[in-house]
């Protein structure tokens, strides 16, 4: 779905007019294409801890143009602020003000990334205050950046090195065009499991992935992205979507499975199809979802039940089958599509909010159950994404929803797919039970 306004004000006369009238000025975001460099321009690594030194050395090894101090007037591709050893809020001022002075030199579509430790595990109130302070400063900074630049953070568990695989995996994701529409967000890395791919352009080579609701919209984009990244994809959708489903399955050289995911045997049918047709099952993406909006005062049991049945009850039942299967034990991945409606709420969506909040609760509670066999489960919560669903919104509501985020535009289905592909990869092996918002840092609500 096109956002013609963004194209119009990105250059030339349209850009000048929008500037003069004080209209929103979204830019065309840098989105990943295979073969793209991770980031263009020098990367400033700020911080004086051992963790900062180690990270700078690793980035040099990747062939990046690393700086430990900014040079005057030099355009920077990214600024990485390593704050892994802060002990008190007083420790924040010096490094934070130092990067503040470099922000004017951040290139369009540049990146600011903090690397710090999880506040909940802090050994004292002062350490917790310093760590939680990074949360507030990063989210505020993300709202100050312009021209498609984003700010995101990586949170490390207590003893984790800044160079452990999933920290580097998350860093690559945030630096690259794969995270174009992720802004003002944190990813927590809990363990040092996981590994970086041999070929960064094919991180899912050899994996077999199932995507539900793949006949159109975000699901079709997920199928395409997982295929591009090297996976063999099983596309699942309801029988009524058969033609579209077959077209997507053919396009990604995979197989189609016509299945209503709310059937009681859906989990077993998914496992059987993947194993019989492709010999294994590594990744399940729970994307299929429906809306049946009504104010609660007007809600009928049918609308309530159908949304709960498709959006969360089916995922719970399929996961039960997956967790009980011997075919889903080799460091498998589950990624669920939630929604910012399940976090911040949305008028007319009590049923949908309950279902998507349910997805988040399910993900957090299932994560420990998958740990013993190296499995992970995470959720991605999209904000306003340009799909058939959002194209049907009334114009004024659509335009408002589309612009009310730090990037002043809606996301593309591919943006959600990129986050899912990352969480499904070996590089994200240390990340589990997390919810990553792909919402351009929505300004309303949480």
When asked if residue 36 is in the footprint of ligand NAI (CB under 6 A), the reply is: no
When asked if residue 212 is in the footprint of ligand NAI (CB under 6 A), the reply is: yes
Sequential DSSP letters for 244-292: HHHHHHHHTT-EEEE--TTSTTHHHHHHHHHHHHHS---EEEE------
CB closer to ligand NAI, 239 vs 326: 239
Give the per-residue contact string, 6-25, with ligand NAI (x = CB under 6 A; - = no): --------------------
List the one residue from 128, 389, 393, 404 that touches ligand NAI (CB under 6 A).
Answer: 389
**Tokens found for residue 210:** 């199932």
List the one residue from 175, 283, 310, 428 that touches ligand NAI (CB under 6 A).
Answer: 310
Determine which one of 5, 32, 181, 352 is catalytic.
352
Q: 313 near 288, Cβ under 8 Å?
A: no
Cβ of residue 273: shortest distance to ligand NAI, in angstroms? 13
Residue owning tokens 């700010």: 151
List the one residue from 175, 284, 385, 435 that touches ligand NAI (CB under 6 A).
Answer: 385
Separation CA 256–CA 347 (nearest Å): 36
CB closer to ligand NAI, 194 vs 382: 382
When asked if residue 113 is in the footprint of ligand NAI (CB under 6 A), the reply is: no
Cβ of residue 65: shortest distance to ligand NAI, in angstroms? 37
CB-count burial class (<10 Å; 0-12, 13-18, 19+) for 25: middle
Separation CA 373–CA 328 (nearest Å): 9
Q: Which of 73, 75, 82 is nearest to 54 (CA)?
A: 82
List the one residue from 63, 388, 392, 395 that touches ligand NAI (CB under 6 A).
Answer: 388
Strand order in the sheet with 186-189: 66-67, 43-46, 76-82, 106-117, 150-156, 186-189
When asked if residue 287 is in the footprint of ligand NAI (CB under 6 A), the reply is: yes
When asked if residue 442 is in the footprint of ligand NAI (CB under 6 A), the reply is: no
When asked if residue 339 is in the footprint of ligand NAI (CB under 6 A), the reply is: yes
When asked if residue 218 is in the footprint of ligand NAI (CB under 6 A), the reply is: yes
Q: Which stretch binds ligand NAI (CB under 6 A): 16-24, 117-125, 161-169, 216-224?
A: 216-224
**Tokens found for residue 434:** 């997390």
- Does the annotation mark 32 as catalytic? no
Strand partners for 406: none
Site residue total, ligand NAI (CB under 6 A): 27
Cβ of residue 220: shortest distance to ligand NAI, in angstroms? 8
CB closer to ligand NAI, 84 vs 237: 237
CB closer to ligand NAI, 140 vs 400: 400
Which residues, other chains included, contact 382 with Cβ-Cβ below 8 Å and sequence gap of 6+?
A: 218, 337, 339, 340, 411, 415, 416, 437, 438, 439
CB closer to ligand NAI, 343 vs 370: 343
When asked if residue 290 is in the footprint of ligand NAI (CB under 6 A), the reply is: yes
Separation CA 280–CA 277 (nearest Å): 8
CB closer to ligand NAI, 300 vs 388: 388
When asked if residue 289 is in the footprint of ligand NAI (CB under 6 A), the reply is: yes
Cβ of residue 337: shortest distance to ligand NAI, in angstroms? 4
Cβ of residue 390: shortest distance to ligand NAI, in angstroms? 5
**Tokens found for residue 362:** 């399910």
**Tokens found for residue 24:** 């929103």
Sequential DSSP letters for 291-311: ---B-GGG--HHHHHHHHIII
List the one residue from 41, 95, 213, 230 that touches ligand NAI (CB under 6 A).
Answer: 213
Q: Which of 276, 251, 268 is nearest to 259 (CA)?
A: 268
User: Which positions lie near ligand NAI, rule CB under 6 A?
Assistant: 212-213, 215-219, 237-238, 241, 260-262, 287-290, 310, 337, 339, 382, 384-385, 387-390
Q: Which residue numbers are catalytic?
A: 352
């Amino acid at each position: 779905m096109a956002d013609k306004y963004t194209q119009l004000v990105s250059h030339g006369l349209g850009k000048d007019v929008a500037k003069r009238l004080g209209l929103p000025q979204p830019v065309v975001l840098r989105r990943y294409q295979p073969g793209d460099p991770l980031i263009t321009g020098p990367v400033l690594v700020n911080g004086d801890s051992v963790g900062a030194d180690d990270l700078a050395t690793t980035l040099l090894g990747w062939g990046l143009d690393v700086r430990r101090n900014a040079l005057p007037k030099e355009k920077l591709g990214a600024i990485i602020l390593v704050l892994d050893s802060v002990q008190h809020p007083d420790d924040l001022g010096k490094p934070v003000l130092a990067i503040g002075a470099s922000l004017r030199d951040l290139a369009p579509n540049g990146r600011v990334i903090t690397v710090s430790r999880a506040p909940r595990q802090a050994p004292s109130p002062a350490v917790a205050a310093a760590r939680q302070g990074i949360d507030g400063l990063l989210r505020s900074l993300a709202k100050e950046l312009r021209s498609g630049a984003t700010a995101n953070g990586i949170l490390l568990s207590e003893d984790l090195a800044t160079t452990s695989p999933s920290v580097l995996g998350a860093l690559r994701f945030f630096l690259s065009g794969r995270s174009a529409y992720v802004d003002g967000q944190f990813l927590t890395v809990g363990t040092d499991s996981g590994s970086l791919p041999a070929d960064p352009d094919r991180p899912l080579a050899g994996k077999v992935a199932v995507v539900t609701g793949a006949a159109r919209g975000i699901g079709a984009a997920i199928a395409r992205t997982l295929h591009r990244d090297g996976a063999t994809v099983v596309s699942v959708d309801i029988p009524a979507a058969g033609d579209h489903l077959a077209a997507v399955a053919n396009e990604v050289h995979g197989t189609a499975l016509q299945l209503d995911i709310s059937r009681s045997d859906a989990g077993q049918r998914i496992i059987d199809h993947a194993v019989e047709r492709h010999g294994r099952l590594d990744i399940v993406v729970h994307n299929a979802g429906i809306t049946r909006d009504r104010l609660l005062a007007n809600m009928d049991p049918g609308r309530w039940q159908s949304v709960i049945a498709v959006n969360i009850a089916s995922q719970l039942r399929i996961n039960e089958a997956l967790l009980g299967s011997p075919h889903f034990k080799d460091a498998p991945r589950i990624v669920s599509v939630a929604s910012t409606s399940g976090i911040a709420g949305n008028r007319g969506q009590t049923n949908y909010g309950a279902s998507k909040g349910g997805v988040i609760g399910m993900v957090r509670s299932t994560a420990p159950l998958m740990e013993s066999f190296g499995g992970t489960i995470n959720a991605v919560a999209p904000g306003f994404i340009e799909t058939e669903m959002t194209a049907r919104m009334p114009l004024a509501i659509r335009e408002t929803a589309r612009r009310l985020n730090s990037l002043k535009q809606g996301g593309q289905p591919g943006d959600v797919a990129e986050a899912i592909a990352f969480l499904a990869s070996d590089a994200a092996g240390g990340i589990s039970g997390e919810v990553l918002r792909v919402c351009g840092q929505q300004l309303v609500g949480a």
